[in-house]
Amino acid sequence: MKKAVLHVLLLSSLAAVHAAAAQSTHSSFDAATGTIVDSRWKSGMPLGGIGDGKIELMTDGSFGNFTHQHNWDRPYRWAKGAFAAIRAQEAGGAPVVRILRLQKGDEYTGIANVRHTRMQGWFPRAQIDYADDALPVNVRLEAFSPLIPHDIKNSSMPVAFLDYRVTNPTQKTVKASMLLSWPNLLGWGGRTDAKWDDIRGGRQTPAHAGALQGLRYTTAQSYADQRRNVLGEDFVGVRSDSGLAVSSCASWDAAAETPAFWSDFEKTGRVQGAAGSPEQSAGAVAAETTLKPGETRVFRFRVVWAMPQMITMQNRQVASKNTDASKTDVEAITDSDAGSRWDTGRAMQAGDNLVVALGQSVTPASITLDFGQAGTDYPHGLRIEVSSDAKTWKEVAVKTADEMKGASQTIALAPIAGKYLRLTNLGTDSFYWWSVFGMSVHTAGQTAPLKLAPDAVTAYKIKTTSLVVEDVGHYWRNWWSGAQGIAAYADKNEDTLLQQTKSWQDPVLKSSLPFWMKLKLINCAFPMFANTVLTKDGRFAVLESPIDMGGALGTMDQRMASHAFFTSFFPELDRAELELYAACQQPDGRITHFDGNIHEVIGRPDVGYGITDWPDLSSAWVMQAVKLYRWTGDASFLERMKPHITHAMDWLEKDGADDNLIPAGGSTYDYEQLPRGEFIYSASCYLGALRAASAISDPAQASAYDKHLGDVQKSVMTDLWNGTFFRKWRQPSTGKTVEDSFVANLAGDWLARLSGLPRTLDPKIIHQSVTQTIARHQKPFFPTPPMQVTPAGKLTTTSCYFLQHEPYLGCEAIYENYVDDGVETLKRVYDCAWELNHSPWDQSLAYDAPSGVQSGLATYMTCPTSWHVLSALAGTSLDLPGKRLYVSPRLMTTETEMHLPVFFSRFWGWLDYVPAQHRLALRVDRVFATDTARASLYHIAGEADAPDSAMTITSVAADGDAAPIALEAPFAVKEGATLDLSSLIDRLAPSSRSETVDFEVKAPAPTRPGLPSGDWVLSDNLHDSPELAASVGQTALDGDPTSRWTTLRPMLPGDQLTLDMRKVQRIARIVLDSAKSPGDYPRGYRLETSTDGAAWSEAARADAGQVSSAQQAGVLTIAITPTDARYVRITNEGADPGAFWSVHELMVYGE
């Protein structure tokens, strides 16, 4: 169904649907204010520091998803013993005591929870208002952790500020006590395949840290291995301000039914002493005061974790002359089975060899080796020798790596007789194994190959393993030794740290952006705490997906989209990781997939999946390095990177030589494994890399890159452009193609334009491609545009790497002046995270298309990609070495003017664009010192001089293709200075507001059984947005049995579906088809009908047992007395903690 049509149907039908739904549910999210109401969402807002892990403040005031003990891929999900509590006693009244979190499942007995919560999150700040009719005070939590641009020291402190603001609104005095309880989790952690659950030996002792009074958390545990990662210390305390009486309970059992201190706290507002030998040790700190009528007091709690050791352990390949003999799988070499193979079982090493017993003395003439159809596991050079006794060897052939390249090779041998052959691999590869699927040996004058015994081959592999252990530590250890020092410093500087944290948020909040985008932008920066690693010696890396990727670091393919926040706010960290990748560059020039693994090593790529043949990695790294240079003017950085850029470009050119100049191999879109060939995404990235490399090269080299760019453009247009849109893939050697449209067909063009470089293809082709991509991927499918669509408009895969759509489709569309459609791309991601899945702080890379259901790779590194939209809307980029500013603002159709922050690496500005007043001006608001952390952050060998502190702009341009316009006088970039470009507005800004793609390409919907349903609307009471609820409902009306409507959580009584058939008609039977999810039928139901959506009549009812008997393999047929109805409402009446309620297809039949 077209989205425009859906809007019309919503207006006429969903008002009635949701008025009915409101009777059984309430909204948990107020989209107008970003407030989460009375609900605990799956993810909470992270508190922590860069490289320190995080604790999450859940949306109901509880705490969970702790990864602060190096347990990135094994979060401590819900911390029952971590909570705040309030005791308030009005003069003359009884005390009222509440835990400040909602009652959700497992909870302590004998206590009461607060009734209501309202939470707003603006990472890394959050505010929660607690309400309960029994409380005589108002309570608000204001929480934050410092995240301060260009200030890595203060942004890497492992600290959470928890300020509880208590107000007495009554006319009487109120005694108020606030308490913070915290468990001792030292010893708990590990990872998915190594679970460390021992929390015995925890101890809390009273301690002070500056003005803070509280508890120091330690453990008696001690280890000599990697379990040192879970040892350290915590500090939990409250500022002992004047008028506050502080008390603490040094030990209680968080696993007990009721907190041991609860009775004391309830009676007196204080806690004391210690209680026995706890199973799960915890402590509590309380502060008490008396509030006058109308008075507000702030109870300033601090939580600090100091886990000083971060141990990595890697079984590393090292040079050795020793070999291990093995007969494992060698029979696969001689068994004539093309599907079986022998392999090294690890990356090939020079010296790996095979010895073949020929059975008799013969004179081999040639040998044929099969390395597999992938053509990647060939030896990197091969020496073949003959021997009569397996001791003395004579060389009969030597081949280079290039000569061995391919799926199979036949090698002629010098005529020397012998009983044995030895085949020795001459090269080392950090990624590929040496594999042999088959071998045949021919002797002179014989047609048939020599018959070899099944055990004729013995494999000798070089011994390469050596355990390397390193304590990389944390960056904060350069200033503090433990938790109390951090706590004292942080508390003393709270106000400054908070104001500096808000410094990058306030410009966004006061901008002309729509509210949802402000909410999205600020909160999508959460990977700065959840995903980052920052060692004591300044190595910086990013976890791809902490839980799902097993510790993988860097992920260059995703970094292409994700780097926005680093480049703008922490260019020092951006530079450090780009240089780390330069150090990981392979001898052949390729840039690696990963720059380490958090469990194994940081700064080396020889980890699982770390080194691949993906060309997009090298292209992405080149483009990012050039962009950072242009945005910072850091000439010493470029000097260090230039040899690596040249080497990477050489590898790309060589890799593409066999595929019409387009580098082949895999890519970030690894949801499928295509053979080597021309992939439009990789081709686009390579075009962008050629643009970038040319921009920093001397004239002769730039000319060579430009010439090659022209040749690659011809290949792209000849092989991948079908006259209407870009086909996804083509294999030059066979002519095979994948004719589907692919969403990221202009990814490299987007990054080139973001960098202020020229377009990568003819502007008319780019515009048409963007038009077709929107029409084929975004317009027909809601909310999630699929990655791949057939020429007829049918999605090819439901797997969708949604986050990458934001820059590659959304921002690229904005650059092409499809502003409304480009912004809509980002809005869809927001809808899925906030309003559909209710989990914005652990967004995944993958979402189901088109339903938007969250899928794999949660807490994903690419979430901050949204920040690129500011550059796209403002049309801004920078070439500081060339002293040129690029600016070309673009308005949505709903806008008449624009007021936006512009965040460059070394200065921030404010852009005012008011066409009606013919005004275009950029005011400089902040200028930053150049790379103050340079000495303490990683950089490869070479000079690390700071760039020139003076910044000057002498020309402006609309984009990299436009002719530059010289300014009348150089503009010095200084705080408070304004560059007025109003006289150039007609040459810089587009002449019209947003264009809009007004058509779609979509395959006709399949015919469904039952009554015609083309305009029906199915909605539920689970989603806050009526539009999203109806969109999700369409998946049960689309004729596709593989798609489904689902509760996305275990079914609960009251879950409800409402169908609007658009007109009154006679119905007699309703079918809920969940055959693809056979256990997801309702556990009892009530079915009602209505002609107007207001008055309802029950038509059928069944309990869980009756439904279980009636359903057939997940298909439930409900027969009713024939009746006239327009609306059908089905309410689930039972719970099942192990099953969702799902409907793949809903059909209605007449008499």
What does each C-alpha distance from 429 to 48, 432, 603 come to in angstroms?
A: 39, 6, 18
Positive/negative CA dihedral, 246, 247, 251, 255: negative
Residue 582 near residue 605 (C-beta atoms within 8 A): no
Q: What is the pLDDT of residues 557-588, one digit of tens each?
A: 999 999 999 999 999 999 999 999 999 999 99
Packing angle of the helix pair 635-655, 680-695 (nearest 10 deg): 140
User: Other C-beta atoms within 10 Å of 481: how many?
Assistant: 11
Residue pLDDT, tens place only, 1038-1076: 898 888 899 988 999 999 999 999 999 999 999 999 999
Overall average pLDDT of the 782-811 stretch: 96
Residue 275 in this model has a pLDDT that exceeds 80: no
Q: Map residue 912 onto helix, strand or coil.
A: strand
Tell which residue, 262, 259, 300, 285, has the closest CA to residue 205.
Answer: 285
Q: What is the pLDDT of residue 432?
A: 84
Q: Is the pLDDT of residue 807 over 70?
A: yes
For tokens 């391919």, the residue is 406
pTM: 0.87
Cα 860–chain centre separation: 2
Give the integer Cα–Cα distance in Å for 765 and 996. 17
Q: Considering the chain, tell me which residue range(s) the CATH 2.60.420 domain(s) occupy.
A: 875-931+950-992
Topology adopted by domain 319-463: Jelly Rolls (2.60.120)
pLDDT of residue 15 exceeding 70 = no
Parts of the chain belonging to CATH 2.70.98: 47-310+473-497
pLDDT at 536 over 60: yes
The residues, any chain, with a CB within 8 Å of residue 65's CB and separated by 6 or more, are 43, 44, 54, 55, 56, 58, 75, 76, 77, 78, 842
| Angle of helix 571-584 versus helix 615-632 axis, rounded to 10 | 140
Task: Evaluate the CA torsion angle 461, 581, 862, 756 in order and state its sign.
Answer: negative
pLDDT tens digits, one per residue of 118-149: 999 999 999 999 999 999 999 999 999 999 99
* Token code pair at residue 392: 């003395």
- 259-264 long-range Cβ contacts below 8 angstroms, 24+ apart: 259/108, 259/111, 259/181, 259/284, 262/108, 262/110, 262/111
**Half-sphere exposure (Cβ direction) of 1014: Cα atoms closer than 13 Å:** 6
Confidence of residue 934 (pLDDT cuts 50, 70, 90): low
Residues 366 and 410: beta-carbon distance below 8 Å: yes
Beta-strand pair 174-183/281-291: antiparallel
Return the minimum-mean-pLDDT range out of 43-47, 235-239, 440-444, 550-554.
440-444
Cβ burial, residue 419 (10 Å; 0-12/13-18/19+): middle
How far separated are the first and last CA of the chain, in Å rounded? 27
Any alpha helices (H) in 107-244, and if so which ranges?
152-155
The model's confidence at residue 20, banded by pLDDT at 50, 70 and 90, is very low
Distant-in-sequence, close-in-space partners of 93: CB < 8 Å, separation ≥ 6: 136
Residue 184: its pLDDT value, please? 97
pLDDT exceeds cutoff 70 at 286: yes
Beta-bridge partners for 971: 953
Residue whose C-alpha is closest to residue 61's, from 97, 115, 29, 100: 100
Mean pLDDT of 627-642: 96
4: pLDDT strictly greater than 70: no
pLDDT 10s digits, 997-1028: 999 999 988 889 999 998 999 999 988 777 77
- Determine the 3-state secondary structure of 229 from DSSP: helix
**What pLDDT digit, counting tens, does each position of 486-501 carry?**
999 999 999 999 999 9
Q: Which amino acid is at 1127?
A: Y
Residue 19 pLDDT greater than 50, yes or no: no
pLDDT at 17: 40
Sign of torsion over alpha carbons 663, 665, 668, 671: positive
Q: Which two tokens stand for residue 718?
A: 């000849």
Listed in order, the ranges of the chain carrying CATH 2.60.120.260 are: 3-27+1004-1149, 319-463
Write a three-state SS string for 714-774.
HHHHHHCECCCCEEEEECCCCCCEEEEEECCCCHHHHHHHHCCCCCCCCHHHHHHHHHHHH
**CB proximity list for 1022: less than 8 A, separation 6 or greater:** 25, 1029, 1047, 1048, 1055
**Please, which residues bridge with residue 1142 across strands?**
1046
Residue 673's SS3 state is: coil
The token duo for 1120 is: 């009713």
Q: How far is the CA of 379 from the CAs of 343, 354, 429, 459, in angstroms?
A: 11, 12, 9, 14
Residue 117, pLDDT score: 98
Query: How would you class 222 by CB atoms within 10 Å of its CB: exposed for 0-12, middle for 13-18, buried for 19 or more?
Result: exposed
How much is the pLDDT for 946? 66
Q: Which helix (H) or strand (E) holds 655?
A: helix 635-655
Mean pLDDT across the chain: 93
pLDDT at position 777 is 98
DSSP alpha helices (H): ranges in 796-933? 805, 812-815, 819-830, 868-874
CB atoms near residue 292 (< 10 Å): 11
**pLDDT given for residue 466 in this prediction:** 81
For the beta carbon of residue 103, count every other beta carbon within 10 angstroms. Answer: 12
Which pLDDT tens digit goes with each residue over 362-397? 999 999 999 998 788 999 999 999 999 999 999 999
Map residue 977 onto helix, strand or coil.
coil
**18 — pLDDT class (breaks 50, 70, 90):** very low
Amino acid letter, 855 = S
- Alpha-helical regions (H) of 794-864: 805, 812-815, 819-830
228-232, 823-827, 1030-1034: which has the minimum mean pLDDT? 1030-1034
Predicted confidence (pLDDT) per residue in 416-450, tens digit:
999 999 999 998 887 789 999 999 999 988 889 99
* Cβ-based neighbour number of residue 1138 at 10 Å: 7
CA distance 491 to 476: 16
pLDDT of residue 13: 42
CB-side neighbour CA atoms (13 Å) of 183: 26
At the top level of CATH, the class of 875-931+950-992 is: mainly beta
Using N-to-C axis directions, what is the helix angle for 635-655 and 615-632, rounded to 10°?
Answer: 160
Mean pLDDT value across residues 202-215: 97
391, two tokens: 């001791």
List of long-range contacts for 204-209, beta carbons under 8 Å, 24+ apart: 204/250, 204/251, 204/281, 204/282, 204/283, 205/250, 206/248, 206/250, 207/235, 207/237, 207/484, 208/237, 208/484, 209/235, 209/237, 209/302, 209/483, 209/484, 209/485, 209/487, 209/488, 209/491
Predicted confidence at residue 318, as pLDDT, reads 66
Q: Which residues pair with 287 in a beta bridge?
A: 178, 246
pLDDT (0 to 100) of residue 376: 86
pLDDT in tens, 936-953: 788 887 665 666 779 999
3-state per-residue secondary structure call for 402-451: HHHCCCEEEEECCCCCEEEEEEEECCCCCCCCCEECEEEEEECCCCCCCC
Q: What percent of the chain has pLDDT over 90?
A: 85
Measure the CA–CA gap between 402 and 851, rounded to whole angstroms.
Answer: 47
Name the amino acid, one letter, at 1138. G
pLDDT digits (tens, 9 = 90+) for 843-888: 999 999 998 989 999 999 999 999 999 999 999 999 999 999 999 9
* Continuous segment of H or E residues that includes residue 488: helix 483-492
CB of 413 closer than 8 Å to CB of 396: yes
Instruction: Please name the CATH architecture into which domain 504-873 falls.
Output: Alpha/alpha barrel (1.50)
- pLDDT at position 998 is 96
Q: What is the largest CA-CA distance in the chain?
A: 113
Q: Are strands 1115-1132 and 296-306 parallel, antiparallel or unpaired?
A: unpaired
Q: At the top level of CATH, which class does the domain 3-27+1004-1149 belong to?
A: mainly beta
pLDDT at residue 1014, as a whole number: 87
Selecting from 1.10.10, 2.60.120, 2.70.98, 1.10.3470, what CATH number does the domain 47-310+473-497 have? 2.70.98
Determine the Cα–Cα distance for residues 217 and 774; give it in Å rounded to an integer.
Answer: 55
